Amino acid sequence: MKKLNVQPELWDQPASPLANSCEATLYFERLLHHQGYHTVAGTDEVGRGCLAGPVVAAAVILPADCHLQGLTDSKKLSAEQRKSLVPEIEHQALSFSIASVSPRIIDKINILQASLRAMALAVEGLDPKPSAILVDGNQPIPVQLPQKTVVKGDSRSLSIAAASVIAKVHRDNLMEEYHRRYPEYQFARHKGYATAVHLEALRRYGPCPLHRMTFKGVKADD
């Protein structure tokens, strides 16, 4: 893992919240462009707190002149808003990639490591390859590329926000497919999160192969 050599006094300036001007939302990307990193990818993951299903990550490289009206942290958007943004993100992106890590691997290596692995796999799937990466959160990912973590990056960086939306829509679609396979858990309704409906289904039917067996609420001693 390679840390970016960026002037701290510039990096510590907060970018304006997303869904305002493109100039503000691309602050971190343009800062890296000026440092000589010409293709900057943003990456984010979704599904970290779920009891069932994979953790899914996406990585996106946006052009310097992109404009994605209304794009922000996927958690602040409705399902319809997210779905409507995905085609526009994919159209404008120089490259995008999606990757996932299964519940069995999550149980084996823990959810933090699985989340970092999913983001690394997404970055490795980009073509063209990025010269630098913006990573949502405070943990670097296991790739040999210059990178910078951005706390709350999905609401401060346009490329990270784009990745969060793509990952969220992809994972929601997966959980809706799993609902058809295991309708008793109502995955289409809660997407694997620990809602009352989901917990009641676990008490009634026990876990299915999609459940994370090491998670509280799923494992046998809970």
In the chain, where are the structural domains located? 2-178
Residue 161: name the closest of 66, 53, 48 by CA. 66
Give the closest residue to 77 by CA, choosing from 167, 207, 148, 206: 167
pLDDT at 66: 87
30 class by beta-carbon count within 10 Å (0-12 exposed, 13-18 middle, 19+ buried): middle
Q: What is the pLDDT along the chain (222 residues), one digit of tens a residue?
A: 666 655 554 555 555 555 444 545 788 998 899 889 999 999 999 999 999 999 999 999 999 888 888 888 888 899 999 999 999 999 999 999 999 999 999 999 999 999 999 999 999 999 999 999 999 999 999 999 999 999 999 988 999 999 999 999 999 999 999 999 999 999 999 999 999 999 999 999 999 999 999 999 998 655
Q: What pTM value is reported for the model? A: 0.91
Phi, psi of 195 (to 5 degrees): -80, 165
Asked if residue 16 lies in contact with residue 145, where contact means CB atoms within 8 angstroms, the answer is no
Give residue 124's pLDDT: 97
**Predicted pLDDT of residue 26:** 86
Residue with tokens 């784009």: 162
pLDDT, residue 14, reads 54
| The predicted structure's pLDDT at residue 219 | 81
The count of other CB atoms within 10 Å of the CB of residue 11 is 15
* CA-based end-to-end distance of the chain: 37
CATH of domain 2-178: 3.30.420.10
